Amino acid sequence: MSTKRLLSTADFHAIPPIIRNSLQWAHNSTAQSNTPFLPKGPSVLATNLIKSYSERGLIKEARILFDEMPERDVVAWTAMIAGYTSCNHYSHAWAMFCQMVRNGVEPNAFTLSSALKGCKSMKALSYGALVHGLAIKHGMKESMYVNNALMDMYATCCVSMDEACMVFQEIDVKNAVSWTTLITGYTHRGDGYGGLRVFRQMLLEEAELNPFSFSIAVRACTSIGSYALGKLIHSAVITHGFDTNLPVMNSILDMYCRCGGLSEANQYFHEMNEKDLITWNTLITGYERLDSTESLHIFSQMESEGFSPNCFTFTSVTAACANLAVLNCGQQVHGGIVRRGLDGNLALANAIIDMYAKCGSISDSRKVFSEMTCRDLVSWTTMMIGYGAHGYGKEAVELFDEMIRSGIRPDKIVYMAVLSACSHAGLVDEGLRYFKSMVGDYNITPNQEIYGCVVDLLGRAGRVEEAYELIESMPFKPDESVWGALLGACKAHKLPNLGKLAARRILDLRPNMVGTYVMLSNIYAAEGKWGEYANMRKLMRGMGSKKEAGRSWIEVRDQVYSFVVGDKMGSHIKWVYGVLDLLIWHMKEAGYVPDLDCLIHDQEDAT
DNA sequence: GTAGGGTTAG
């Protein structure tokens, strides 16, 4: 059998029978091209098969067939390039394209748009620009497909939308795809206003509207957080009769989740007459952010309705377990992920690291992190935040250095993670060294949050004066979080005057932050200034708002118990106080002296 | 026989 030359017997039998038969047919037709019934030249059947293989993910088989073709025309080359692109093998697609050009085969509009799609996915602007040059050289500036693909590539690869807009303006008669591509370009880079501006222009020019334009317009509303515009576009969707299109409905559901409220999202969800996995994922994610317990209920409901969870589902479900700090549930979810073979997904692995850290099992976080075959900046950052929260400053610092050695360029967020870890572990000089390196080596301009971290770093260690000097030297006006870090330090190290200054700065910026009054009144109380203390308390009562008491919760034998200061907690309370007494005894033995200054507000808040 | 835009995570 001639096919044996193409594939091993095992591989051959792994191919679905329909393709297997046509493979034999195509192969015979290419091998016996002297048959009078078949035309000479490149096999149309073989080209069809390349496409067919690629669609099924059998890209290796497609390539073997391509290599075996006695003659390859531009269509066969294009099918192979497009095949690699559709299977996410972008560098192979680019290599094919280069080889084709080197072999003297002239690309057509199909080839160039396929090549551009690959450039876009690789974010390879220089390759894309090269294709643009070839498009001009071969006189394909009039092709709508090439122009739209060029716009898409520039919108994805360039720092600004200027290049994409330039291509757009050069298109004489824009079609629906041109408009949608431009709106998507703006929206996907986070510029929802830009996207909506183009959408408005599209309406003014009476361009053809279809479900694609509406789903991206709704997404643009979501990204700017505009519920009013979102509802307006929802009405337009109904007017145009696109309210039964699933992707449009899904984007509307997402809009209600993020800009409306859960009750509205829920109502819309139940009104939807068709649902797919994305619908369920959107709702689960919406609930994860605002009501994690309910998101877990929706997840089991989804499964009972026969939907099989994917990476997106599990990422949200894992995040819900992290929010609730329910280790047992998180472990079960992790088990489900491994069983389905989804543990190789990068974003999902990152979520699992975070979940274990938030559920108190930092060793499991580390285990997942260590076993990852590839890591991104989020992986490293998540692990560092976990270490920092568990008080493992040294480990976080080591991880940061390892990350730099592995060639990953740090960003502001990972610096915040390592600075915060240093702060909590008292590694002041290390932290300051990182702060200097951030500016000096990586040219990262510190923002409010970074200054807040460094103020906290110095402040916690008792270097409060230095922290104040840093605030004074800031090149922009410090916000309440920076002053808040200083206030915390003043309270901890008993510096009432500086503390009062910090508190006043916060109250200038945020007069309604009740917590600041609490801190200020405690400073007065610690100084014995009871008149000032009473004034503060009176002010707070006049504000009508209360500082919400901190709530803690713990999972014991599949049951979650939550409590606030002074909680009676039913019959278990005597056990809790028993353990507390024991802990206090241990702390005193170790030489800790309790800070009684904060007792005043604790008692008042509890009542 | 070969090419296009939209919805869900971090």
Q: Which residues pair with A560 in a beta bridge?
A: A555
pLDDT digit string, tens, across residues A62-75: 999 999 999 999 99
- Which parts of A106-175 fold into alpha helices (H)? 109-122, 125-137, 144-157, 162-170
Does residue A543 surpass a pLDDT of 90?
A: no
How far, in Å, is the CA of A145 from the C1' of nucleotide B3?
A: 7
User: What's the confidence (pLDDT) of residue A474?
Assistant: 95
pLDDT digit string, tens, across residues A563-581: 677 777 666 667 767 877 8
Nucleotide nearest to A381 (CA to C1'): B10
Does residue A299 surpass a pLDDT of 90?
A: yes
Does residue A36 surpass a pLDDT of 80?
A: no
Does residue A546 surpass a pLDDT of 70?
A: no
Sequence-distant contacts of A73-76: CB under 8 A, at least 24 apart = A73/A41, A73/A42, A73/A105, A74/A100, A74/A105, A74/A106, A74/A107, A74/A108, A74/A110, A74/A111, A75/A42, A75/A47, A75/A110, A76/A42, A76/A46, A76/A47, A76/A50
Yes or no: say if A504 and A536 are a contact pair by the CB < 8 Å rule. Answer: no
User: What's the confidence (pLDDT) of residue A384?
Assistant: 97
Identify which has the larger pLDDT, A589 or A549.
A589
**pLDDT band at residue A547 under the 50/70/90 scheme:** low
User: What's the confidence (pLDDT) of residue A67?
Assistant: 96
Yes or no: say if A23 and A43 are a contact pair by the CB < 8 Å rule. Answer: no
Q: Which residue is nearest to nucleotide B9 (CA to C1')?
A: A312
How far, in Å, is the CA of A74 from the C1' of nucleotide B2?
A: 8
pLDDT digit string, tens, across residues A110-119: 999 999 999 9
Nucleotide nearest to A349 (CA to C1'): B10
User: What's the confidence (pLDDT) of residue A524?
Assistant: 80
Nucleotide nearest to A284 (CA to C1'): B8
% of chain A surpassing 90 pLDDT: 74
Q: Which two tokens stand for residue A330?
A: 């998180």
Nucleotide nearest to A257 (CA to C1'): B8
Does residue A29 surpass a pLDDT of 50?
A: no
How far, in Å, is the CA of A149 from the C1' of nucleotide B5?
A: 9
User: What's the confidence (pLDDT) of residue A558?
Assistant: 65
Of the ranges A246-250, A293-297, A544-548, which one carries the lowest mean pLDDT score?
Answer: A544-548
Identify which has the larger pLDDT, A9 or A441.
A441
**pLDDT band at residue A42 under the 50/70/90 scheme:** confident
Q: Which two tokens stand for residue A336?
A: 């489900």
User: What's the confidence (pLDDT) of residue A544?
Assistant: 64
Across A444-451, average pLDDT: 94
Residues 6+ apart with CB under 8 A from A557: none
Does residue A450 surpass a pLDDT of 50?
A: yes
How far, in Å, is the CA of A183 from the C1' of nucleotide B6?
A: 10
Across A523-527, average pLDDT: 79
User: What's the confidence (pLDDT) of residue A214?
Assistant: 98
Residue A546: CB atoms within 10 A of its CB come to 11
- Longest C-alpha distance within chain A, in Å? 109
User: What's the confidence (pLDDT) of residue A6?
Assistant: 38
How far, in Å, is the CA of A285 from the C1' of nucleotide B10?
A: 12
Across A83-107, average pLDDT: 97
Per-residue DSSP letter, A291? -
How far, in Å, is the CA of A92 from the C1' of nucleotide B6?
A: 27
How far, in Å, is the CA of A586 from the C1' of nucleotide B9?
A: 44
Q: Which residue is nearest to nucleotide B7 (CA to C1')?
A: A247
On the 0-12 / 13-18 / 19+ scale of CB atoms within 10 A, A491 is buried
Bases of chain B within 7 A of a CB of the protein:
1-10
pLDDT digit string, tens, across residues A314-349: 999 999 999 999 999 999 999 999 999 999 999 999
Report CA A263 to chain centroid distance, whole Å: 25
Residue A528, CB-side half-sphere exposure with 13 Å CA sphere: 0
Nucleotide nearest to A312 (CA to C1'): B9
Yes or no: say if A284 and A316 are a contact pair by the CB < 8 Å rule. Answer: yes
How far, in Å, is the CA of A599 from the C1' of nucleotide B9?
A: 43
Among A357, A354, A395, A355, which Cα is nearest to A378's? A354
Q: Which two tokens stand for residue A480?
A: 């309440």
**pLDDT band at residue A38 under the 50/70/90 scheme:** very low
Q: Say whether A42 sits in a helix, a strand or coil.
A: coil
How far, in Å, is the CA of A266 from the C1' of nucleotide B5?
A: 29
Does residue A5 surpass a pLDDT of 70?
A: no
Q: Does domain A449-547 have CATH number 3.40.50.170?
A: no
- Dist. CA A394–CA A430, nearest whole Å: 10
Q: Which residue is nearest to nucleotide B5 (CA to C1')?
A: A177
User: What's the confidence (pLDDT) of residue A576?
Assistant: 67
Nucleotide nearest to A379 (CA to C1'): B10
**How high is the mean pLDDT of chain A?**
88
Across A165-187, average pLDDT: 97
Q: Which residue is nearest to nucleotide B3 (CA to C1')?
A: A110
* Token pair 């935040």 in the structure block, residue: A385
* Token pair 């037709």 in the structure block, residue: A29
Residue A75: CB atoms within 10 A of its CB come to 16
Q: Which residue is nearest to nucleotide B6 (CA to C1')?
A: A212
User: What's the confidence (pLDDT) of residue A589?
Assistant: 82
**pLDDT band at residue A7 under the 50/70/90 scheme:** very low
Nucleotide nearest to A183 (CA to C1'): B5
- Dist. CA A436–CA A454, nearest whole Å: 11
Across A275-281, average pLDDT: 97
Q: Which residue is nearest to nucleotide B4 (CA to C1')?
A: A145
% of chain A surpassing 70 pLDDT: 87
How far, in Å, is the CA of A111 from the C1' of nucleotide B4?
A: 13
Residue A354: phi and psi, rounded to 5, are -65, -40
Q: Is the dihedral of CA A413, A124, A121, A193 positive or negative?
A: positive
- Dist. CA A103–CA A561, nearest whole Å: 71
pLDDT digit string, tens, across residues A475-494: 999 999 999 999 999 988 99
Nucleotide nearest to A47 (CA to C1'): B1
SS3 for A431-473 is HHHHHHHHHHCCCCCCCHHHHHHHHHHHHHCCCHHHHHHHHHC
Q: Which residue is nearest to nucleotide B1 (CA to C1')?
A: A44
User: What's the confidence (pLDDT) of residue A563?
Assistant: 67
**pLDDT band at residue A530 under the 50/70/90 scheme:** confident
Yes or no: say if A429 and A391 are a contact pair by the CB < 8 Å rule. Answer: no
Identify which has the larger pLDDT, A576 or A448.
A448
Nucleotide nearest to A77 (CA to C1'): B2
Across A246-267, average pLDDT: 96
How far, in Å, is the CA of A185 from the C1' of nucleotide B10?
A: 21
- For A201-255, give the DSSP string: HHHHTTPPP-HHHHHHHHHHHHHHT-HHHHHHHHHHHHHTT-TT-HHHHHHHHHH
How far, in Å, is the CA of A547 from the C1' of nucleotide B10?
A: 32
